[in-house]
């Protein structure tokens, strides 16, 4: 019997959290994405291979985007919320982990009509609005991986929504910088950044209320930020006009990346306020991060590392390796 354990632990020296989820041991080696629609669990007709649909967008009587619980969640809602304080702090692995299949077609999202991207983003915000009602979920993270190098385990276009019982350091840092900027200048940081970037020579395109630009200090080569005018604190607060413009901008930039840089593994992620906070002065936006280093979307979105080896397990493995050697 395999007992699945999940815990979020905080490194006492840096304050950085790590998600330990033994479920991920099933993925010690990343599977190569089956690029065969016949064996793809996300293609229409294969719905029985995934968890049941939680919500969907339908067009002409068939789904064009659908959401369901991840088959191997890093965190689960059924867990009881508990935490340990002191030098070694931890929180139980309570959370949410959903998959959003973004199109019925088994091809990259930006190769499809832009309406698919609009519907996919709309479904993501609906799921986040719903999950936000669970007050235990302090952070809601949306991200999508494209390509093996970005950690995608399925070639079919899909996104993920993860709810966390903590506010990771990177999310807190964004919130705190927005608050500090507002206290100093009276203005939202992301609004001012839009104005500065509009004349800084890093603009990629403007799509209605959304500005796409390469950020001043990118973490990744060819990183692009999609920043809507007057954005609320969280992607779940996006207006239909902001969502549509963001989808159009994302579609266009992904096409431009492919033409200009070549096929690039990429993580798209939403940045915003913690889920249960008013988030005044914080503006949500989407970041497109080409992944030339190995990693997963959750790391990029929240700063959390996700891996499968509990230190207890590691120590045991090392101890038995030593005892075999000294025998
Ligand atoms: Zn498929």
Quote the ligand 1 centre to 62 CA distance (angstroms): 15
147 CA to centre of ligand 1 in angstroms: 14
The pair of structure tokens assigned to 57 is: 């967008």
Distance 44 CA to ligand 1 centre (A): 8
Compute, in angstroms, the gap from residue 292 CA to the centroid of ligand 1: 25
Report CA(188)–ligand 1 centroid distance (Å).
41
Question: Could you tell me which of 23, 246, 273 has the C-alpha nearest to residue 144?
Answer: 246
pTM: 0.86
Distance 42 CA to ligand 1 centre (A): 5
Separation of 82 CA from ligand 1 center, angstroms? Answer: 38
Give the distance (Å) from ligand 1 centre to CA of residue 224.
27
Structure tokens belonging to residue 276: 């249960």
Each residue's pLDDT tens digit in the chain (327 positions)? Answer: 566 688 999 999 888 899 888 875 444 445 555 567 778 999 999 999 999 999 999 999 999 999 999 988 888 888 888 888 899 999 988 899 999 999 999 999 999 999 999 999 999 999 999 999 999 999 999 999 887 666 667 889 999 999 999 999 999 999 999 999 999 999 999 999 999 988 888 888 999 999 999 888 888 888 899 999 999 999 999 999 999 999 999 999 888 888 888 888 899 999 999 999 999 999 999 999 887 655 567 777 777 666 665 676 666 566 666 565 444
Distance between Cα 107 and ligand 1 center (Å): 8
d(CA 75, ligand 1 centre) in Å: 25
Q: Tell me the DSSP string of 89-149.
A: -EEE-B-EEEEEE--SSSS-GGGS-HHHHHHHHHHHHHHHHHHTTSTT--EEEEEEEESGG
How many A from CA of 137 to the centre of ligand 1?
30
Task: State how far the Cα of 253 lies from the Cα of 205, in Å rounded to an integer.
Answer: 8
- Name residue 271's beta-bridge partners: 285
Instruction: Give alpha helix (H) positions in the chain.
Output: 114-131, 169-185, 189-198, 240-261, 297-302, 311-326
Q: Are strands 305-307 and 17-21 parallel, antiparallel or unpaired?
A: parallel
Q: 264 CA distance to ligand 1 centroid (A)?
A: 20
Q: Is the CB of residue 11 less than 8 Å from the CB of residue 18?
A: yes
Cα-to-centroid distance, 103 and ligand 1 (Å): 9
As residues whose CB is below 5 A from the ion ligand 1, the structure lists: 37, 40, 42-43, 106, 156
């Amino acid at each position: 019997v395999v007992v699945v354990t999940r815990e979020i632990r905080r490194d006492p020296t840096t304050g950085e959290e790590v998600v330990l989820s033994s479920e991920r041991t099933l993925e010690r080696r990343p599977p190569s994405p089956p690029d065969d629609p016949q064996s793809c669990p996300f293609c229409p007709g294969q719905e029985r291979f995934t968890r049941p649909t939680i919500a969907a967008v339908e067009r002409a009587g068939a789904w064009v985007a659908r959401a369901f619980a991840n088959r191997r969640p890093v965190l689960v809602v059924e867990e009881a919320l508990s935490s340990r304080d002191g030098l070694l702090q931890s929180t139980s692995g309570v959370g949410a982990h959903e998959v959003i299949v973004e199109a019925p077609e088994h091809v990259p999202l930006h190769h499809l009509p832009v309406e698919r991207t609009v519907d996919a983003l709309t479904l993501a915000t609906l799921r986040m609005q719903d999950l936000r009602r669970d007050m235990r979920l302090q952070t809601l993270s949306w991200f999508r991986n494209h390509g093996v190098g970005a950690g995608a385990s399925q070639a079919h276009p899909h996104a993920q929504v993860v709810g966390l019982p903590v506010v990771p350091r990177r999310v807190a840092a964004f919130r705190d910088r927005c608050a500090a900027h507002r206290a100093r200048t009276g203005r939202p940081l992301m609004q001012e950044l839009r104005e500065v970037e509009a004349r800084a020579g890093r603009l990629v395109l403007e799509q209605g209320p959304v500005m796409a630009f390469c950020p001043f200090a990118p973490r990744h080569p060819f990183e692009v930020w999609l920043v809507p005018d007057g954005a609320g604190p969280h992607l779940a607060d996006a207006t239909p006009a902001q969502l549509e413009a963001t989808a159009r901008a994302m579609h266009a930039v992904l096409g431009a990346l492919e033409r200009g840089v070549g096929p690039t593994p990429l993580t798209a992620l939403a940045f915003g306020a913690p889920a249960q906070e008013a988030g005044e002065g914080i503006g949500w936006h989407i970041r497109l991060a080409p992944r030339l280093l190995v990693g997963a979307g959750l790391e990029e979105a929240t700063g959390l590392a996700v891996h499968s080896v509990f230190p207890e397990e590691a120590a045991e493995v090392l101890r038995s390796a030593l005892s075999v050697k000294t025998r």
